[in-house]
Chains A and B, each alone.
Chain A
């Protein structure tokens, strides 16, 4: 009886993880469409006003943030790996590091925003800055949402909620975090380099 109960438990987790994974991919698909809307608008307007926009952003801070976010994607991948192996300590440490990197990213972004505001630059200044604040604002909202959930998962991980058979919330978190990273990888050249 004990055996069957465990097998049932495992089968149940497998099934649920399977559904969650599929659901997460669909949700990310719709997120892709959301940012596609912004990118399509940006491409249309940028190409129509070619040359009239001079790249005004602080490339150093933008590049720094790119490095931070890519690193955090890497640490998140290590966290997922640790959770699959049932390595609780590794999971807690790598996810904690990811969380800190996410916060650092937001702080750098905050410094950038503060610079803009002190120079009197707002979304209404011109069409480029409209896009800049739109893109980075919605991206930052996604980072914040991710960090909130990651914080909760971190406490659950430390409590020992996850093991070899039950770790799909961590996996979902990983998928989401890579997505947020990926959006930034498109944003960075589009806003800071072009």
Chain B
């Protein structure tokens, strides 16, 4: 980092973020808010775009729930307006094809257009350079490009709703042959468009991953050793490794699937396939199972892309609001890394019933149960952080506590499903839906809400409204559990997922009441989110003006004004200590000490 010292001697200091020399902030609207190289603007672009897509994905889920509770009953209002369009039949009820389309698109939108861009693109872009004391990411132009690739990906995705026969309808996992032959699933062009969208979104994610890895490895401020890196940035680093090494596998699989659909190859189609009573025109010679392997080789690591960054967010919040150092910093980093290592060898747990050599199934079962170990280490360390802390129950903390609780429930159900004998029964039931919603909504989205309220001052220079945020937390926690906990019972009773016609099965009749209950809980859960939407936009313009360090945090972003100025740090910061030295002796009468505070003479600095 000696270069930075050299550069400090000239009037025109080079831009640490590789893009060129110190330029004044652009004045045109286009360069400032649209094609901006500023990591903070790119982060906000990701944040706001993905939150908008969350409304879309959530809306689709509301319709899904209507069909499950009231099969083939016309949907009030919406069904009436959109009769015969999209997912609706001529009487305004959801058609079976429409139901499949809703389900597939809900999953695809939420994973590829909401959670990944939100927690990696949004939080990662905004916070990584601030956390490591840099002016920007390594490749600011590439950063803008990855946002716009993501935005471009949404075009074919949105377009697919409007083409003949609608959007993708073969599950978010797109298993062939259903996803492969035009006649097999309800959708035709729409599915191809969605695959193209996933392709573009994946490319954007790879470029983002490369950028983050280089940024964290090369642009840390003097003194910011690996052992002083905030845990959120560590988590983003590990996530970026997944993005670089696992996402290309999805691109490979999607390429082959697109070839199958467009050029009529047979990578995933066996010989002698019958479709609709006639022999398929394809030559055959491929394997449907091949897709499952390729897809899950990507998609299991991808579920970790969906959680690791928010584990980092939770760690930052928990330590700040417990006024205590993170318990077991090293163990936290090691467990992140071992989740990454193990994450690449467990994909087969999604395929226990797909037809696998039982010995192989055994291996996947063991590796999957092993992955619960580092996850457990993290949970215990979070609890250790809270233990004996001087806890402040502000809204970010409430959400972080929600995160831990929901993560424990979701992690426990994961262990049941990891054991092959149990999973043979549970697979493809609502139990799976309960499991991953506990993790992706209960944990990830809770941490996102907490993170937004925590860093709102840095994002927008204002505070969110606390009472509203707390109300939002309470309602979300209650209705979330009312919605998703009963799904465990549905699953145990054998209720299949991806099923538009539950009334056709006599053994499901007794569950109809529970389904109605879940649907109404889901509607209240959905309505509660409007509080957040209001709070977010209202506080952005009318919230209380934030001070520099409203939560008394130690990491470098809290040394900057709120909102953060264009070039972040006027003077390149020097780091002297770890990120979590709360309540240390050196702090004097405060209970926090910023990472850039030099050692106090005559005191022994805390180890780091």
Contact = CB atoms under 8 A, between A and B. Distances in A.
Interface stretch (A1-9, A150-158, A159-167, A180-188): A1-9
Interface residues of B, number: 44
B256 A134 contact: yes
B252 A35 contact: yes
Contacts of B247: 30
B253 interface: yes
Given A8-B6, A14-B3, A127-B266, A33 B245 contact: yes
B211 A23 contact: yes
Interface stretch (B281-289, B324-332, B448-456): B281-289
A19 B138 contact: yes
Contact of A33 (B213, B248, B264): B248
Contacts, number: 138
A134 B267 CA distance: 10
Given A30-B210, A41-B267, A41-B294, A125 B283 contact: yes
A49 to B, nearest CB: 6
A138 B139 CA distance: 26
Nearest to B289: A44
A45 B249 contact: no
A118 interface: no
Contacts of B246: 33
Contacts of B256: 38, 41, 134
B255 A11 contact: no
Contacts of A138: 255
A19 B244 contact: no
Contact of A19 (B7, B18, B206, B245): B18
B182 to A, nearest CB: 13
Contacts of A115: none
Given A23-B139, A26-B244, A124 B9 contact: no
Contact of B10 (A5, A27, A32, A38): A5
A4 B5 CA distance: 12
B17 to A, nearest CB: 9
A134 B255 CA distance: 8
Nearest to A38: B252
A140 B560 CA distance: 49
Contacts of A16: 18
B253 A37 contact: yes
Main secondary structure of the interface of B (DSSP, over half): helix
B290 interface: yes
B14 interface: yes
Given A29-B245, A36-B249, A12 B3 contact: yes
A122 interface: yes
Contacts of A32: 248
B268 to A, nearest CB: 9
Interface string B344-375: 00000000000000000000000000000000
Interface string B1-39: 001001101100010001001000000000000000000
B471 interface: no
Interface in A27-69: 27, 29-38, 40-41, 44-45, 48-49
A23 B245 contact: no
Contacts of B6: 4, 7-8, 11
A8 B7 contact: yes
Given A4-B10, A18-B218, A19-B218, A37 B248 contact: yes
A123 B217 CA distance: 43
B401 interface: no
Given A14-B3, A134-B259, A30 B265 contact: no
B29 to A, nearest CB: 29
B218 A124 contact: no
Contact of B283 (A31, A33, A124): A124
A8 B14 contact: yes
Nearest to B7: A8
B505 interface: no
Given A23-B214, A26-B213, A34-B251, A12 B14 contact: yes
Contacts of A26: 209-210, 213-214, 244
A53 to B, nearest CB: 9
Nearest to A41: B290
Contact of A134 (B244, B251, B264, B265): B265
Contacts of A193: none
A127 B286 contact: yes
Nearest to A12: B14
A45 to B, nearest CB: 6
A23 B36 CA distance: 21
19 contacts: A8-B9, A8-B14, A12-B21, A20-B18, A23-B211, A26-B209, A27-B206, A30-B210, A33-B245, A35-B252, A38-B256, A45-B286, A124-B282, A127-B266, A130-B266, A130-B267, A130-B285, A130-B286, A133-B265
The 10 closest A-B pairs by CB, nearest first: A37-B252, A127-B285, A130-B265, A34-B248, A33-B248, A124-B264, A11-B3, A12-B14, A123-B263, A30-B244
Given A8-B9, A36-B248, A41-B290, 11 more contacts: A4-B9, A8-B7, A11-B3, A12-B3, A20-B18, A22-B218, A23-B138, A33-B244, A45-B290, A127-B284, A134-B265
Interface of B: 3, 6-7, 9-10, 14, 18, 21, 138-139, 206, 209-211, 213-214, 217-219, 244-249, 251-253, 255-256, 259, 263-267, 282-287, 290, 294
